[in-house]
Amino acid sequence: MSEKLFKRWPYWIGKMAVMWSLLYGGMHLYWLLGGMGYPFQQERTADHLFAAMITSLSATVGGVLFVILCLLGVCFGLIMQYKKLSFPRWLLLSYSWGFAFSLILFIPDISLIAAMAYAFLFKFVFNWQMVNQVICLIGALLWMLTAVAYQRKTRSACEYCGRMENEETFLLVRMGKVFTIIAALAPIPYAITRFAWALNIPLGIDSQFLAEFSTLNPAARVTEWVFGLLCVGGSILTLGLIQKWGEIFPRWFPLIGGKRVPIMLAVIPASIVALAVTSAGFVFTFQFLSLILQFTTTDSIILEQLWGAVGPMVFWGPWGVSLGLSVIAYYYRRRGLCSHCGRGEKSFSPSSTIKRRNEYVQI
């Protein structure tokens, strides 16, 4: 039942986006009227230098803005569900994509990616502010998928796979190798700085700062090694999106060796990382440029160590975007025949993998 419901996602995704907009708009109306639990940090202190972009607005302005956007979401979402209603297609799509990207770029801060990284050190931090960010990322996904379904419907393509008669290979699939290589290389500068600090090499920062940091945090060396290894490990796994072992488990894997890699086993984790990294990368890049160009001032010691402490995170934006695009290309390449329109290529079996070796990048 659940699998059948999932396959019919174009039918219900728009309704879910409308429901999300109604509920989240209601939450902001509650906060606007003085309700407790406003989820955005308003203090612009040194400790919150890399806060979400929405915190640049007052609670009142932010609340009014969200109530209006969510109200428009309810109206536009209902219009998109009915073909008989005539409305400019470009306006509906512009709102859907614009609202989705705004939820990704302007709402989250760096806390989500930090929580994911520190979980590997068995440090688990989760609060209401993070829950709100997850809610907004879910809303972004709902509106992106709603836009995709509407685009397919209005151009007479299959709503379930997006294919049309005699259509060429999707451009994103042809560019998948390029996006994957970019996504694999982007975290390396961050990993290099972390490995250097772990080896007591003050790369990009003062030696005194590194010494004081290590004194204040006895676990600093372990933290740097773990963060660096996470980036390197992520790069290697990213390459699996264009490698044979990203579709077929290697023979030496116990129990599952030689079997097909479930598509969602790669798509879901990579998508979560892509969203978190993109959001954090945008915040880091915005603040980095603001400090460099002196649009923002701070008394934080980070300002003196900016190039080493924050500079490598400027690559996180391209990392997240390219990872997201490479995951989409991976999914489109492996999805096989559409069960609704019958278009596409039949999924290949492990025994036929050798015939397709030339389709992979040999690294």
Kindly state whether residues 47 and 134 are assigned to the same domain: yes
pLDDT at position 15: 95
The pLDDT of residue 359 is: 46
Q: Is residue 338 part of a domain?
A: yes
Residue 162 lies in a domain: no
Q: How far is CA 147 from CA 4, 324, 328, in A?
A: 21, 17, 15
Could you say which of 119, 154, 189 is where a domain stops? Answer: 154
Q: What are the angstrom distances between the C-alpha of 169 and each of 165, 176, 178, 284?
A: 12, 12, 16, 36
- Shared domain for 85 and 215, answered yes or no, is no
- The reply to whether 196 and 139 lie within a common domain is no
- pLDDT at residue 90 above 80? yes
Residues 335 and 191 in one domain: yes
Residues 252 and 218 in one domain: yes
* Rounded average pLDDT over 199-216: 87
Instruction: Indicate whether 209 pLDDT > 90.
Output: no
Whether 164 maps to a domain, the answer reads no
Distance CA 108, CA 106 (A): 6
Q: What pLDDT sits at residue 198?
A: 93
Residue range 301-338, pLDDT digits in tens: 666 788 888 899 999 999 999 999 999 999 999 988 87
Given a cut of 60, whether residue 363 has pLDDT beyond it is: no
Higher pLDDT: 347 or 116? It is 116
* Structural domain contains residue 79: yes
Give the C-alpha separation, 199 to 221, whole Å. Answer: 8
Total length of the chain: 363
- Number of domains comprising the chain: 2
Could you tell me if 334 and 257 lie in one domain? yes
The predicted-structure confidence for 333-356, as pLDDT tens digits, reads as follows 998 887 777 777 765 554 444 444
pLDDT-based confidence at residue 299 (cuts at 50, 70, 90): low
pLDDT, residue 62, reads 85
Whether 123 shows a pLDDT value over 50: the answer reads yes
Q: What's the rounded mean pLDDT across residues 162-179?
A: 82
Say yes or no: 236 and 355 in one domain: yes
Residue 291 confidence class, pLDDT cut points 50, 70, 90? confident
- d(CA 42, CA 52) in angstroms, rounded, equals 10
The answer to whether 275 and 320 are in contact (CB under 8 A) is yes
Same domain, 134 and 193: no
Could you tell me what percent of the chain has a pLDDT over 90? Answer: 52
**Helix H or strand E encompassing 319:** helix 316-334
Cα gap 280→292, rounded to integer Å: 18
Residues 251 and 135 occupy one common structural domain: no
Residues contacting 32, CB < 8 A, separation 6+: 59, 60, 63, 64, 67
Q: What would the mean pLDDT of 354-361 be, rounded to a whole number?
A: 44
Report if residue 253 sits inside a domain.
yes
Say if residue 272 is in the same domain as residue 348. yes
Chain segment 210-260, per-residue pLDDT in tens: 888 888 888 889 999 999 999 999 999 999 999 999 999 999 888 888 999
Say yes or no: 200 and 147 in one domain. Answer: no
Question: Which of 3-12, 138-147, 211-220, 269-278 is predicted least confidently?
Answer: 3-12
Does residue 289 fall inside a structural domain? yes
Residue 136, phi then psi, degrees to nearest 5: -70, -35
Q: Indicate whether 218 belongs to any domain.
A: yes
Mean pLDDT of 48-53: 74
pLDDT for position 210: 87
Domain boundary among 104, 124, 154: 154
Most confident of 106-110, 186-190, 344-348: 186-190
User: Which residue, 289, 340, 331, 326, is CA-closest to 310?
Assistant: 289
Q: How far apart are the first and last CA of the chain?
A: 41
Please give the average per-residue pLDDT across 179-200, as a whole number. 96
Q: Which residue has the higher pLDDT, 336 or 42?
A: 336
Domain that holds residue 53: 2-154
- Domain membership flag for residue 163: no
Please tell me whether residues 209 and 296 are part of one structural domain.
yes
CA dihedral 256, 259, 261, 262 (to 10 degrees): -90
